[in-house]
Structure 1
Amino acid sequence: MSSAIAAAGKPSLSASTIVAASTSGCHILKIEGYSRTKGIPTGQVLFSSQFAVGGHRWRICYYPNGDESDTADYISVYLFFSDYISVYLMLDEDVTEDVKAQFKIYFAKLVEKQPSWTSRTVRNFPSQEMRGYRKFIEREYFEKSEHLKDDSFTIKCDVAVVRDICTKEITAPKFVSVPPPELNQHLCDLLKTEKGADVVFEVGGETIAAHRCVLASRSSVFNAELFGFMKEGDTAGVVRIDDMEVQVFKALLYFAYTDSLLETKKEEEDVMCQHLLVAADRYNMQRLKLICEEKLCEYIDVGTVAIILALAEQHHCDGLKKACFNFLSCPAHRRAFVATNGFQHLYKSCPSLVTELIAMPSPS
């Protein structure tokens, strides 16, 4: 009875939180040759390159002589707003629902008494619509300020896209802590110890023991080789790999067991990724192949683009091929590349790629 009375008299406590989840990003726009942009008529706009924040595409709109008004007398507005620089943020895509976002546009160079142009509220962005500041800064004041240096200035736009607003209940304190998944580590230990291994590979004079079921579950090619034409009763149980370096094959097995890349020295990473991409394509391990593609995109330069482009063409790596062509879309990069031995080799081995390169439109 006493316990029942105590329970009845005990106050209950609960709590909740309203969470406005958002994704943030920024874009920096540099205007070089400001004095030459002043010749652009009032109401005409210059765009930044497209950038992505929160899964949406955006541009900064720069009006050197101000934006026109649709609601006032044209002549008076022309004279008034042409005295100002106008800057806007535009949602550069078609959407079915308005995108909610906060943004701030300001000069990237911090100086004393810098004005603050900040959207303190969430704004709705319909398709191809822009929000911002018609009177961003008065041109006469701007041209005497520290923002303008060597006929150039830089503005920065911070964007926070509101993804979702929801109410979450605050849970009670946790008394039990669950560790992160350990399956990958256990499988890695299985590969290292070779416990229960039932197949042996011979690569580059070394033998490597592995587990058929693990490899078959990770690769349709391994599945066909180990459970198809190879017989379970094969007493030798040795699979010879003659066209692959042992370190590459070990990295392939490591990924099969752990779904992660084997650690490699930074100076050797690009070459390993090239060989591993070929191995991943051979054994139909698509995720590994895409990881190698992504990493090789970081190593594209004048000296490597020939071999990476040929690799992308031979193994049907569309994303990697586009990255190479994007690099070569720069006239300076293209001229330097044509002067290399790599270009001559590419011309002989993959003439179709050179044809595509020649047909590539020059940037405007």
Structure 2
Amino acid sequence: MANVCTKLTGTVRSVRLFQIDGFTLVAKTMSTTECIKSRWNVDGYEWEIQCYPAYYDPHDWVDFKLMFLGEARSSNVRASLGCLLIHPRIVSHVVEKTVSHVFKRPKDCSAGISLLRPGSSLPVPASLKDDYLIVQCTITIVKELPEPANPVPVPPSNLHRHLGELLSSGTGSDITFVVSGESFTAHKNILAARSSVLMAEFFGNMREASAGRVVIEDMEAAAFKAMLHFIYTDTVPELDWKLEAVATLAQHLLAASDRYGLDRLKVICESKLAGGVTVDTAATTLALAEQHNCSHLKAKCVEFIVSTPEILDAVVATEGYKHL
């Protein structure tokens, strides 16, 4: 497959009606070398459709040819002529005939298209107004499309990496959080851009607006650190571990994300907890889901608890259920 060459092509098509009034008279008075011409411009090329009506008598056919009048912009021009006979007194042979040709120079001409087979002549017109011939002609040109230029490779976004490094280094930090005895430095502008709650705290009328140090109560340091990393990078690497190892962190992080209006992080935690409800975590997770309005997580917990009488009894016996 590595050696296959693909040629990109497209088509340009033009359709018109070719009408000859007084067709019977024209066919009987013109010689077989005379033709009626119609010039078209398709895709910037000049074309000429030639109709030879004298072939109608005595051989019962009308001949159409396509002539190329322009200069090929490339080595050659591939085109076809399609002809469809349209006449109120003919209904049995309405079939489009097509001839294709590769035109290389001006006045190159295609082979002829015979619309009426020998022995199937046109009926005698009932009146002069019915003495005509209409042919729907279609010129189709095959264009070779230019090969698409190789795009300049664009490296993937690394904004999250740079912001993560900024958080780790603490360069330019202007706020310090104290959580469970641990200190975390950060940048007010970035925090406010990600959290409407922190926007109100730092740039509203709250006392934290001018503070350089904020003490946060009722939150685990590990949960705050993971939340801070998410604010800067939009990722939570800790939640990539198995749920058994991070169930408690996911619960604390869900509460923290709800507290600070981090909706995406909240959904990530809810999805993580919903994917692995166990007897030990069902009651505490249910209480958490109810408290923080997580309807999907709540439904998963209830579904698990009542799934069997044995599981229900086991959950009721847990410390979490007593607190619930």
TM value normalised by structure 1: 0.46
Amino acid at match of 1:299: G
Matches within 5 A, 1:163-174: 172=148, 174=150
After superposition, give the CA deviation of every residue in 1:177-231 in whole Å (9 maximum; x if it has no partner). Answer: 1111111111111111112212111222222111111111111110111111356
Tell me, in whole angstroms, the C-alpha distance in 1 between the residues paired with 2:287 and 2:265: 19
Q: Would you say the 8 A contact 2:203–2:209 is kept in 1?
A: no
Instruction: Indicate the RMSD between aligned Cα atoms, in angstroms.
Output: 2.6
Q: What is the CA–CA distance in structure 2 between the aligned matches of 1:212 and 1:253, rounded to whole Å?
A: 12
* Residue number in structure 2 paired with 1:334: 312
Cα gap change, 1:219/1:232 in structure 2, threshold over 3 Å: closer, same or farther? closer
Displacement of 1:172:
3.1
Structure 1 unmatched ranges of 5 or more: 1-11, 17-168, 347-364
| Alignment pair present for 1:223 and 2:217 | no
How far did residue 15 of structure 1 move? Answer: 5.9
Residue 301 in structure 1 maps to residue 295 in structure 2? no
Q: CA 1:178–1:15 in structure 2 vs 1: closer, same or farther (change >3 Å)?
A: farther
Which residue number corresponds to residue 166 of structure 1? none
1:262 aligns with 2:237: yes
Alignment of 1:214-293 (within 5 A): 214-230=190-206, 234=210, 237-263=212-238, 266=242, 267-293=244-270
Letter in 1 for 2:169: T
Deviations 1:148-170 (A, max 9, x none): xxxxxxxxxxxxxxxxxxxxx99
CA spacing shift, 1:233–1:329, aligned 2, 3 Å? closer
Query: Aligned runs of 1:26-41 on 2, under 5 Å?
Result: none
Label 1:331 to 1:283 Cα distance change in 2 as closer, same or farther (>3 A): same
Q: Secondary structure at the match of 1:344?
A: helix
**Distance verdict in 2 for CA 1:314–1:226, change over 3 Å:** same
How far 1:342 moved relative to its partner?
A: 3.2
Cα drift, residue 338 of structure 1: 2.9
- C-alpha spacing 1:171/1:289, structure 2 compared with 1 (3 Å): farther
Write the distance in 1 (CA, Å) between the matches of 2:281 and 2:208.
44
| CA-to-aligned-CA distance 1:94-153 (integer Å, 9 cap, x gap) | xxxxxxxxxxxxxxxxxxxxxxxxxxxxxxxxxxxxxxxxxxxxxxxxxxxxxxxxxxxx
Identical positions, percent: 47
Partner of 1:194: 170
Change (3 A) 1:340 1:246: closer
Question: Highest Rg: 1 or 2?
Answer: 2
CA distance in 1 between counterparts of 2:160 and 2:317 reads 47
Relative to 1, partners in 2 of residues 1:341 and 1:201: Cα closer, same or farther, differing over 3 Å?
A: closer
Distance 1:228 1:170 in 2: 58
User: What is the aligned counterpart of 1:322 among 272, 281, 299?
Assistant: 299
CA–CA separation in structure 1 for the residues paired with 2:184 and 2:314: 44
Aligned length: 182
Instruction: Call closer, same or farther: CA 1:202–1:173 in 2, change over 3 Å.
Output: same
Change (3 A) 1:14 1:304: same
Taking the TM superposition and a 5 Å limit, the aligned residue runs for 1:86-165 are none
Equivalent of residue 213 in structure 1, options 186, 189, 192:
189
What is the distance in 1 between the residues matched to 2:315 and 2:258? 27
Identify the residue that residue 37 of structure 1 maps to in structure 2. Answer: none
Which SS does the other structure have where 2:277 is aligned? coil
Q: Do structure 1's residue 14 and structure 2's residue 5 form an aligned pair?
A: no
Rate the CA distance shift 1:201–1:344 in 2: closer, same or farther, 3 A.
Answer: closer
How far is the alpha carbon of 1:14 from its aligned partner? 1.2
**Residues 175, 343 of structure 1: alpha-carbon distance in 2 compared, 3 angstrom cutoff:** closer
C-alpha distance in structure 2 between counterparts of 1:178 and 1:287, whole Å: 27
Cα deviation, residue 173, structure 1: 6.0
Q: Does 1:177 align with 2:153?
A: yes
Q: Secondary structure at the match of 1:269?
A: helix
Unaligned runs of 5+ in 2: 1-5, 11-144
Contact 2:178 2:215 in 1 (8 A): yes
Distance in 1 of aligned mates of 2:208 and 2:277: 45
Distance in 2 between the 1:270 and 1:263 partners?
A: 11
Q: CA deviation at 1:171?
A: 6.8
1:288 deviation in Å? 0.6
Report the CA distance shift for 1:190/1:338 in structure 2 as closer, same or farther (over 3 A). same
